[in-house]
Amino acid sequence: MNEMSAGLKTHHVGVLVKDLTRALKSYTETLGYAIRSERFHDPIQTAFVQFLSLPGDSVLLELITPDGPESRLANALKKSGGINHICYAVPVIEEAMKAFRERGLVTIHAPQPAVAFSGRRIAWLMNRDHLLIELVEQGKPGEL
Amino acid sequence: MDRLAAVFRDVFDMPALEIGGLTRSNFSEWDSLAQVKLVIGIEEEFDVKFTIDQVANISSAEEFRKLLAEKAVA
């Protein structure tokens, strides 16, 4: 493992959309994505999310839409939709967070179980370019 | 020049923002993402590092100023 990378693997890219149903149709019909999950409610993002992927591609696409007018993503969507965050799978989430904190990234949410990943934990950070970064504990083969 | 105020003005994109008396509770733009952006901006500007608890709990511009004073950088 490259020590600087903390064993990162790109897990998914999160894209903020206004209408999840319409976006699903668009990504499947125009770019050839296949739906990989049911629709989940994510209380941390205060959003509904659904995962897609391209055939043969291990990196997922997460479509995200606010769960209501009070969602913390509602304002972000008003400003602009599009790419919202990048998620990396890591072998040991605490070790990765400690390493990234030492390198100047700031924690937004400490690790907690995620419905979309069968209880595997996720955490949120931001880097100095204000990129939102999600970490997820590595899953078994075949899991999201 | 007030370097701390400059970070706040940059994060909130408000060139005339006055930070005296500014708190998370009296300034609606100061949400959790803004908090993180402030921490990143202040750490860069003053070459300091806040603890995880400080990142979560700082709730006013004055608290940032006090912590910087304790670290003897402002």
Query: pLDDT tens across A22-75, in order?
Result: 999 999 999 999 999 999 998 877 899 999 999 999 999 999 999 998 898 888
Kindly report the nearest CA distance between residue A104 and chain B, in angstroms. 8
d(CA A39, CA A37): 6
User: Around Cβ B67, how many Cβ atoms within 10 Å?
Assistant: 18
Phi-psi region of A89 (alpha: psi -120 to 50; beta: other; left: phi over 0): beta
Nearest to A126 among B31, B36, B52 (CB): B36
Q: Which candidate, A89, A73, A95, places its Cα nearest to that of A122?
A: A89
Where would I find the beta strands (DSSP E) of A32-141? 34-35, 40-42, 47-53, 60-66, 82-90, 106-113, 121-126, 132-137
Q: Please, which pLDDT band fits residue A2 given cuts at 50, 70 and 90?
A: low
Output the CA angle A117-A118-A119, nearest 5 degrees. Answer: 90
pTM of the model: 0.85
Q: Do A108 and B39 touch (CB under 8 A)?
A: no
Decide if A53 contacts A61 (C-beta within 8 A). Answer: yes
Coil, helix or strand for A25?
helix
Is the pLDDT score of A114 beyond 80? Answer: yes
Please provide the size of chain A in residues. Answer: 144
pLDDT tens for B25-45 read 999 899 888 999 999 999 999
- % pLDDT > 70, chain A: 96
Whether A106 and B44 lie within 8 Å, measured CB to CB: no
- Residue A101: its chain B contacts at CB < 8 A? 52
DSSP string, A96-113: HHHHHHHTT-EEEEEEEE
Give A3's pLDDT tier (boundaries 50, 70, 90).
Answer: low
Residues of A with CB under 8 A from a CB of B: 72, 101, 104, 106-108, 110, 126-128, 130
Q: For residue B45, what is the nearest residue in chain A, using CA coordinates?
A: A128
Give the pLDDT confidence score for residue A99 in this predicted structure.
Answer: 92
> For residue B33, what is the nearest residue in chain A, using CA coordinates?
A108
Residue of A nearest to B53 (CA): A107
Decide if A8 contacts A95 (C-beta within 8 A): no
